[in-house]
Structure 1
Amino acid sequence: MSDLKLELKQLIITSLDLEDIEVADIDDSEPLFIDGLGLDSIDALELGLAIKKAFDVKIDANSEQTKAHFASINALAEFIEQSRNNA
C-alpha cells in the first residue's frame, strides 16, 4: 500500500472519529460513501476540510468531478497526486 493511501485512511479515521475502524478495514477501491465505508454528506464536508488542510489541495465543493474524486481511496490518492503535479 502506498504511503499516500495509508495517510488518507488514517486521516479519514482520525478526522471523522471512526473509533471502530482500522486502516486495514478500508479497502482502496471500496466506495467511501453510502455503500462501502458508509460516510454521509456531513462526513464529506469534514473530510474535504481535513484533506485540504493536510495536502494543501483546492477542492471545489460544487463540482461533479469532486464527487468522483471522493469515490474511494484510489480516487482520492489519484486526485491528490494530480493536484501536486499541477501545482
Structure 2
Amino acid sequence: MDALVAELKQKLIDILNLTDLTPEDIDENAQLVGGELGIDSIDVLEMVVMIEKDYGVVINSQEIGEQVFATLNSLAFYIEANSAAPSP
C-alpha cells in the first residue's frame, strides 16, 4: 500500500496543481479535504474522476466520499479494497 500512497501523493500534486509541494510534504494521515493542502469540493470532484479513470473505483455517494477523503491513507485503503486491478 505504500506504493499506492506514494503514487496518490504525486497524482494529487499533478491534478491539483500543488507545484510548491513535493510528495514528502504530504502527510498521509492529515486531514485531506479542508486541511493544510486547501483541498475543496471542486478539487474532490477532480480526484473522484481521476480515481475512477485510473483505478476503476467509483465513489458514488457523499457519505462514502466523506469517509474516503478523510486522509490519504483512507483513500488508498478504499482504492485497494475496491479496485479490480492488483495493487502495485
Instruction: Normalising by structure 2, report the TM-score.
Output: 0.87
Residue 84 of structure 1 pairs with residue 55 of structure 2: no
**Displacement after TM superposition at 1:15 (Å):** 0.9
Provide the rounded CA distance (Å) in 1 between the counterparts of 2:28 and 2:14.
17
Indicate the residue corresponding to 1:22 in structure 2.
Answer: 22
Native 8 Å contact 2:51 2:58 kept in 1:
no
2:46 corresponding residue in structure 1: 46
- Can you give the 5+ residue segments of structure 1 that lack an aligned partner in the other structure? none
Q: Which runs of 5+ in 2 are unaligned?
A: none
Q: Work out which structure has the larger RCO, using CA pairs closer than 8 Å and 6 or more positions apart in sequence.
A: 2
- In the alignment of these two chains, the number of paired residues is 84
Secondary structure of the corresponding residue to residue 49 of structure 2: helix
Question: Deviating runs (4+, > 2 A) in structure 1?
Answer: none
Structure 1 residues 58-80: Cα deviation after superposition (integer angstroms, max 9, x where no partner): 111x3302211011111001101
In structure 2, C-alpha distance between the alignment counterparts of 1:13 and 1:58, rounded to whole Å: 21
